[in-house]
Amino acid sequence: MAIRRRDHHIGMEFGKRLGNEEYQFVCATHCWNRSRFRLTLKCSSNIIKIVIVLEGNILYRAIIVDDELKICQLIQCLGAWESLNIEIIDVCQDGEVALESIVKHKPDIVLTDIRMPVYDGLEIIQQVRKQDMDTAFIVISGYKQFEYARQALQYGVVDFLVKPINQEDLNTALQKAVNGIIDQKNVQNVNEILYNKEKSEKVALLNRLASGLEAEELTNRAQLQGESPLFKKDIFQAVIIKTNKMELNMGKSKFSEDILSNLERIISIEEAIEVAKDDGVYLLLNYQKNDYKRIREELFEILKRMVRDRDIYGQFELTMGVGLPVTSIGDMKLSIETARIAWQQRLLLTDREYLEFEKLHITTESKTDFWNEKEWNEFQAALESCNQSKASELLSLMEIHVNRESKLNLDDLFDHIRRIVLQVERLVTEDETLLTNQTVTHMMEELKCSDSVSDIFLHLKLYINKSVQEYYDRKTSMKKLPIIKAEEYIAEHYMQDISLEEMAQRVDLSPAYFSKLFKMVEGVNYIEYLTQIRLEQSKKLLKTTTLPVKTIAATIGYIDEKYFRKLFKKVVGIKPSEYRKLH
């Protein structure tokens, strides 16, 4: 009895009664994810229990190929398959069927005769090697084909057996094949570890360089020209890939993951390292000069694939900035910086997809001053006085200056804008120790993702106006605080004799500044405000009580009744007695 499920074969061994109408069936697998296990089904009248026990290591799969059925059967009988953890997955009796089975199943070991119909053993080995398969071959030959069998050794066969097959020779050859497979896997594991270590060092180097950090130790390691240098080709070049949408450029975005995936699939050179940062995807290329044409075509293919995803990610512009090629890893910072500059220059161009710094003819020898020292001072004064219109006027002058430049290096412009953003952030935070580079970097990244130079200035003006307004509101709120405290005290103690000097002392301000601040916040001076509060209280008493005017005057803080009557008429327009009659 047998159960088949796809490529997995389970052979039913036996079933026995255990008592109380319970039966146990034990099944031994020969191949399930290439591991041996024992499956036990315990069945009673109501319950079925399934127990799976792993019994062995990973199996090595083998195919036997010989046109003589008896030879195939003999090999099956003589081989120590179980002790060597080898599973026979197919038996073939002609070369054509054998080749199809080998290509399909990709066995670890093939035992093949030399002389067979359609394809002989040597032709099978040749075809398999063309498929880049590292299958271990054991060749079986008669005495007459002994020299012919030797030719197979150049294709890396493990051993050859002479008919009639000897059991010891067969198992020695099988053990040799298994040992070779183990050694090969160990070498692959070591190579993978070394590759991963090298790749992690390369990624760490690119990460630091892309972040503008020093990477001297890693750079020195990469420049070593020993037996195993970190980079093996002559030319180094940086590419930055990013859109005009900040949310797509984030290092952990799905969009960045898709770019990384395409880079890994399409870029054919081995020495290519990619890193996703929050300002785009960085690619470090290490190649020979004659590779660049192919790399360029592959980068264009990535552009095409990503642009097709506009239905998924919405409208965006994708640009590749390609830095200067350099011949030393120590100069990679220059290549990264020029890749960034190339990407920034897209704002001045109509064809924005693939921008090579070398072909943009950007002037880097001298810096452009968009404001003179006087204009910088005026801008600072406008910020401090919360003069939004003056700040916008100065930015408009800078925009005119920018538009007049025939060979504008946008990197110069962004240097000036960064200085502006720093001034604004210092104003807003007041305490420079609280000013974070992250805030400035985020704002600069927003501006760099603009679609044109005019968009940069529009965005910058909106940012400054908002920041200045917040600063003004906070300053106003801070100024109101001591006045609020003073008013709360007046509300409870208006009937007392509270001088301006006494109140200023209570709120920790000088009398002169307190008087000025009070007038600015309330629109009236301190004495006028106190008078208003007292007279409002007198009105309430006149309307709600029958107290004499003299008593009311004393209650609100005026001992002199005559002065109170005169003041009331001056402010309210009628005498206290007349006010009482009217209300």
What is the residue-averaged pLDDT of the chain?
81
332-344 and 167-210 helices, crossing angle to 10° = 60
CATH topology of domain 477-582: Arc Repressor Mutant, subunit A (1.10.10)
37: exposed, middle or buried (C-beta count within 10 Å: 0-12, 13-18, 19+)?
middle
Contact 57, 85 (CB under 8 A): yes
pLDDT number for residue 31: 44
Q: What is the DSSP letter of 166?
A: P
**For 481-521, what is each residue's pLDDT tens digit?**
888 889 889 989 999 988 999 999 999 999 999 998 888 88
Establish how many alpha carbons lie within 13 A of residue 25's alpha carbon, considering only the half-sphere containing its beta carbon.
13
pLDDT band at residue 558 under the 50/70/90 scheme: very high
**For 207-258, what is each residue's pLDDT tens digit?**
777 776 654 554 554 444 444 566 778 888 999 999 999 888 888 888 888 8
The domains of the chain are located at 2-58, 60-184, 231-360, 373-470, 477-582
Report how far apart, in Å, the C-alpha atoms of 439 and of each of 251, 313, 422, 460, 536 are.
Answer: 17, 26, 9, 14, 50
d(CA 294, CA 298): 6
Pick the closest to residue 520 from 545, 554, 483 (CA basis). Answer: 483
Q: Beta strand pairing status for 272-277 and 318-322?
A: unpaired
Q: Model-level pTM greater than 0.85?
A: no
Q: With left for phi above 0 and alpha for psi between -120 and 50, is residue 14 left, alpha or beta? A: beta
pLDDT number for residue 427: 81
Q: Which helix (H) or strand (E) holds 334?
A: helix 332-344
Q: Give the position of tokens 């916040």.
A: 521
**For 57-103, what is each residue's pLDDT tens digit?**
568 999 999 988 999 999 999 999 999 999 999 999 888 899 999 99
Q: What is the DSSP letter of 371?
A: S
Q: What is the CATH number of domain 231-360?
A: 3.30.70.270
**For 108-134, what is each residue's pLDDT tens digit?**
999 998 888 888 888 888 888 888 888
216-223 and 167-210 helices, crossing angle to 10° = 130
Mean pLDDT of 308-326: 87
Residues 6+ apart with CB under 8 A from 184: 134
d(CA 401, CA 463): 20
pLDDT number for residue 21: 42
Contact 468, 383 (CB under 8 A): yes
275: exposed, middle or buried (C-beta count within 10 Å: 0-12, 13-18, 19+)?
buried
pLDDT number for residue 175: 92
**For 7-63, what is each residue's pLDDT tens digit?**
333 333 334 444 444 444 444 444 444 555 455 555 554 554 554 444 455 689 999
Q: What is the CATH number of domain 60-184?
A: 3.40.50.2300
Q: Give the position of tokens 């197919």.
A: 90
d(CA 114, CA 123): 9
Pick the closest to residue 284 from 228, 195, 202 (CA basis). Answer: 202
Q: Which amino acid is at 245?
A: K
- Tell me, rounded to whole angstroms, the distance of Cα 254 from its chain centroid: 9
SS3 state of residue 6:
coil
**For 351-378, what is each residue's pLDDT tens digit?**
889 999 999 887 766 777 888 889 998 9
